[in-house]
Chain A
């Protein structure tokens, strides 16, 4: 027992004395969170909108004010000529243009119908569609505001709700994804490297030629990384809650337990890699290639799995992070309890046991 304790302490020395390891361990989650939270967001915000108001009446002013007060647009009212619009698009000064014809208010109030033109930059079709939708929605709302008494014979009013994420906060989807990604990289890569480093340095020879049980080497290697990964998990949660405004709806304890299970899955995978490789570079490459890319692609937080061909859907089923992602989404965002995620948990548990078994079985008590 004392041997194990001393061994674990030694592992902590290794981690805390190596800046690179520390950087990967705690720098990576912060960078990932910030990157996904602010840079790689799919939300459309701060669109540069050029307004050409040829009417300048009460109605146009009210409508422009409404658009300005939504957080989506940066409105540029400098009165440029209609012919300069394309130039502004080309120079990237505008993503969208809104043109009110002369006599807009007059037409609206007396004729009952007025027209306005929306021009969007179609080179980015997703953004363009979203922008057009935003303006249409604002216009419709304004229209209802100024003629509340208007009664159409038949009206269908769609009441839409974005369940679990009313504000459409994009962070909600990727936080579980980033958690899966970071835990996977930190656990798998660092664990495999730490075992292989002993082989490379030759210290494994001395460890083997000692009464310390070879399997305990693996346990002693896994425990520090389990603790550090849990610390990492808490760090990600704190960043998610306080920096990205992601609320945790479900039980934190359940979240913690599920994450621990996933960490053990990753550790087992790391140990498995370390059994079969002899150089740190190979181990790192294997755990990065073997884990990072499949995690990015097949977890479902970047590309929807439902849209993939059957073969890829089957592949995604054997990626542990996919199941973890499902569990975390359910617990963290939907606030569901264990009774809703036990199936996914069971799959993950099965994978963990299998990986751990392979890792322990293949551990060599001798060289080569």
Chain B
């Protein structure tokens, strides 16, 4: 049995004027760490809200642990943990009070599932008596995660848990998710960051409410259909403008100090000569393995 299934789910707002989720079909297996990757406004939050029974879908059906998201919403609410994208704890309550409150609300106690949150909670424990509103961004996320975990949910929904969190805290956060996965909890996490996609077992790339691809990150990268080159020269901006005007270039994007390009005819030597003739100096071209970001951009342009 899949932990979560979505069957032709469509969700619109403003009486059908705004299409947020467009006919999505998807399965997430038991115990999986599943990533929903897409830019802002792709429909990630809407999808989460349908699954967490907060919104009714316009069309299609969805289940969580076999329970229907519309009919059996009460059963689902007993079994899931949800961490909304916006920090949603009581800012005027202390760390301890927040945790206590949510534990009791879910019919649990801090002691009861302490093992589950121990690693995370130990880090914010020194600030037990500090009000949640006065915590730093990373600590807030940790507290929110503790609150979502305190009742040992079967499926955990994390909506952009690392947005606005510093790099170190983000890394720590993902370490925690891996440990939680080992406890057998199914985790569905959404993120706009491509580097985090690599940390998921399987990912779905989502854009404009549509799923473009669902697979393991490795498979998605391996499925890159053409050769990818990284290119640089002394004046990178001039090079990029020049490349964009060339008919043989299929795609070109700036990636840090390099420009990632794909060609229509795969004649890279011809391109090198052409570029050098145009007066670009220190031209460096190498064949590279596509990253998840390259795959995403390619899929996005095809759509």
Query: Which A residues are closer than 8 A to B by beta carbons?
Result: 2-3, 6-7, 10, 13-14, 17-18, 201-203, 205-212, 365-368
Interface residues of B in 79-109 (CB under 8 A from A): 80, 82, 84, 86-93, 97, 100-102, 104-107
B222 within 8 A of A: no
> Shortest distance in angstroms between A221's beta carbon and chain B's nearest beta carbon?
14
Q: Report yes or no: B82 in contact with A201, Cβ–Cβ below 8 A.
A: no
A203, B105: Cβ atoms closer than 8 Å: no
B55/A367 in contact, CB under 8 A: yes
| Chain B residues whose C-beta falls within 8 Å of the C-beta of A7 in the assembled complex | 101, 105
List chain A residues, Cβ under 8 A from B106. 210-212
What residues of chain B lie closer than 8 Å to A365, measured between beta carbons? 73
Chain A to chain B contacts (Cβ below 8 Å), 5 pairs: A6-B104, A10-B93, A209-B52, A209-B82, A210-B105
B73 touches A6 (CB 8 A): no
Size band of the interface chain B makes with A: 20 to 34
Nearest B residue to A213 via CB reads B74
With both beta carbons as reference points, the residue of chain B lying nearest to A211 in the complex is identified as: B78
Complex: A367 Cα to B52 Cα, angstroms? 11
**Interface residue from B53, B87, B100 paired with A209 (Cβ < 8 Å):** B53
State whether B86 touches A6 (Cβ < 8 A). Answer: no
Answer whether A206 and B49 are a contact pair too, CB < 8 Å, given A10-B97, A201-B91.
Answer: no
Q: Does B24 touch A at the CB level, under 8 Å?
A: no
- Nearest-CB distance from A20 to chain B (Å)? 12
Please indicate the chain B residues that have their CB under 8 angstroms from the CB of A3 in the complex.
104-105, 107
A203 to B101 alpha-carbon distance, docked (Å): 12
Which 4 A-B residue pairings sit nearest by Cβ, starting from the closest?
A202-B88, A6-B104, A209-B82, A211-B78
Are the C-beta atoms of A14 and B100 separated by less than 8 Å? no
Known A203-B90, A208-B53, A366-B54; further 20 A-B contacts with Cβ < 8 A:
A3-B105, A3-B107, A7-B101, A7-B105, A10-B97, A10-B101, A14-B92, A18-B92, A202-B86, A202-B87, A205-B52, A206-B82, A207-B105, A209-B54, A209-B82, A211-B107, A212-B106, A365-B73, A366-B56, A367-B54
B54:A205 contact, CB within 8 angstroms: yes
A3, A205, A368 — which one has the most chain B CB atoms within 10 A of its CB?
A205
Given A201-B88, A211-B77, A206 and B102 touching (CB < 8 A)?
Answer: yes
CB distance from B99 to the nearest CB of A (A): 12
The docked-state distance in angstroms from the alpha carbon of A209 to that of B73 is 9
Q: Are A6 and B77 in contact (CB under 8 A)?
A: no
Docked complex Cα distance between A202 and B93 (Å): 15
Question: CB-CB < 8 A to A10: which residues of B?
Answer: 90, 93, 97, 101
Residues from chain B with Cβ under 8 Å of A18 in the complex? 92
With both beta carbons as reference points, the residue of chain A lying nearest to B49 in the complex is identified as A367
A366 CA / B106 CA spacing, docked (Å): 18
Known contacts A13-B92, A209-B52, A6 near B84 by CB under 8 Å: no
On chain A, the residues within 8 Å of B84 by CB distance are: 202, 205-206
Closest to B75 in A: A211
Per the bound structure, the CA–CA distance linking A57 and B55 in Å amounts to 92
Nearest-neighbor residue (CB-CB) of A202 within chain B: B88
**Contact yes or no, A6 B78, CB < 8 A:** no
Q: How far is the CB of B147 from chain A (nearest CB, A)?
A: 8
Cα–Cα, bound, A10→B53 (Å): 25
Q: How far is the CA of A202 from the CA of B86 in the complex (A)?
A: 7
B77 near A210: Cβ-Cβ < 8 Å: yes
Q: Which residues of chain B in 59-86 are interfacial with respect to chain A, using CB atoms and an 8 Å cutoff?
A: 73-74, 77-78, 80, 82, 84, 86
Q: How far is the CB of B272 from chain A (nearest CB, A)?
A: 53
Point out which of A207, A366, A368 has the most chain B C-beta atoms below 10 A from its C-beta: A366
Separation of A7 and B101 alpha carbons in the complex (Å): 7
For A203, list chain B residues within 8 Å (CB). 88-90
Closest Cβ neighbor of B52 among chain A residues? A209
- Residues of the B chain whose Cβ atoms lie less than 8 Å from the Cβ of A205: 52, 54, 82, 84, 88
How many whole Å from A84's CB to the nearest CB in chain B? 64
Contact B100 A206 (CB under 8 A): no
CA distance A248 to B187 in the complex (A): 64
Give the docked Cα–Cα distance between A236 and B88 (Å).
Answer: 37
B104 / chain A contacts, CB cutoff of 8 Å: 2-3, 6
A202 CB contacts on chain B under 8 angstroms: 84, 86-88
CB of A158 to closest CB in B, whole Å? 63
Bound Cα distance from A365 to B84, whole angstroms: 17
Q: Across the interface, which residues of B come within 8 angstroms of A367, CB to CB?
A: 49, 54-55
CA A45 to CA B49, docked complex, whole Å: 66
State the CA gap A248–B82 with chains docked (Å): 54
Partner of A13, one of B86, B87, B97, B148: B97
User: Restricting to B91-134, which residues have a CB under 8 Å from any CB of A?
Assistant: 91-93, 97, 100-102, 104-107
Instruction: Specify which of B53, B80, B82, B89 is in contact with A366 (CB 8 Å cutoff).
Output: B53
Q: Which residues of B contact A210 (CB under 8 A)?
A: 77, 102, 105-106
Q: How far in angstroms is the closest Cβ of chain B from A193?
A: 14
**A17 touches which of B86, B92, B147 (Cβ 8 Å):** B92
Cβ of B101 and Cβ of A6 under 8 Å apart?
Answer: yes
Instruction: Give A205 to B52 CA distance when docked, in angstroms.
Output: 9
List A contacts of B97 (CB < 8 A): 10, 13
Alpha-carbon distance between A17 and B133 when the two chains are bound, in angstroms: 13
Q: State how many angstroms separate the Cβ of A202 from the closest Cβ of chain B.
A: 4
Q: Report the separation of the CA atoms of residues A212 and B92 in the bound assembly, to the nearest whole angstrom.
A: 21
> How many angstroms between the C-alpha atoms of A75 and B97 in the bound complex?
65
Could you say which residues of chain B place their CB within 8 Å of the CB of A14? Answer: 90, 92
List residues of B (275-299) whose CB comes within 8 Å of A's CBs: none
Contact A208 B54 (CB under 8 A): yes
